[in-house]
Amino acid sequence: MTRSLEEHVTTTAERSESATPETQDALTKVWTDQPGLVGWFTTVQNGPIASRYIVTTFLFFLSGGIMALLMRTQLAVPESTFLGPETFNQLFTMHG
């Protein structure tokens, strides 16, 4: 006994009617960013969040590089007084 192709292939449910205007308005309200600082901190869009991650990463990379340069400047010459011992230890800890 052979089965027809329709019995072997999975099907999807029929599409329902389009969203009502009330539903569209509610979804637009939920997914639209609020203006100002509140919207900047509460966004759920992946583009702005990714941009903030990239900027934050670059700033920390730059900060670590500056700390490394300061430590290398201190270690460039013997008996250097460019940085005090406590400041050098703080930079070393922050850089690491």
Residue 45 has pLDDT above 60, yes or no: yes
Q: Which two tokens stand for residue 84?
A: 């005090």
Q: How many CB atoms within 10 Å of residue 15? A: 6
Give dist(CA 54, CA 69) in Å, integer: 22
Residue 44 has pLDDT above 90, yes or no: no
Give dist(CA 94, CA 96) in Å, integer: 6
What's the whole-number mean pLDDT along residues 62-85?
Answer: 96
- Residue-wise pLDDT for 49-63, tens only, equals 999 999 999 999 999
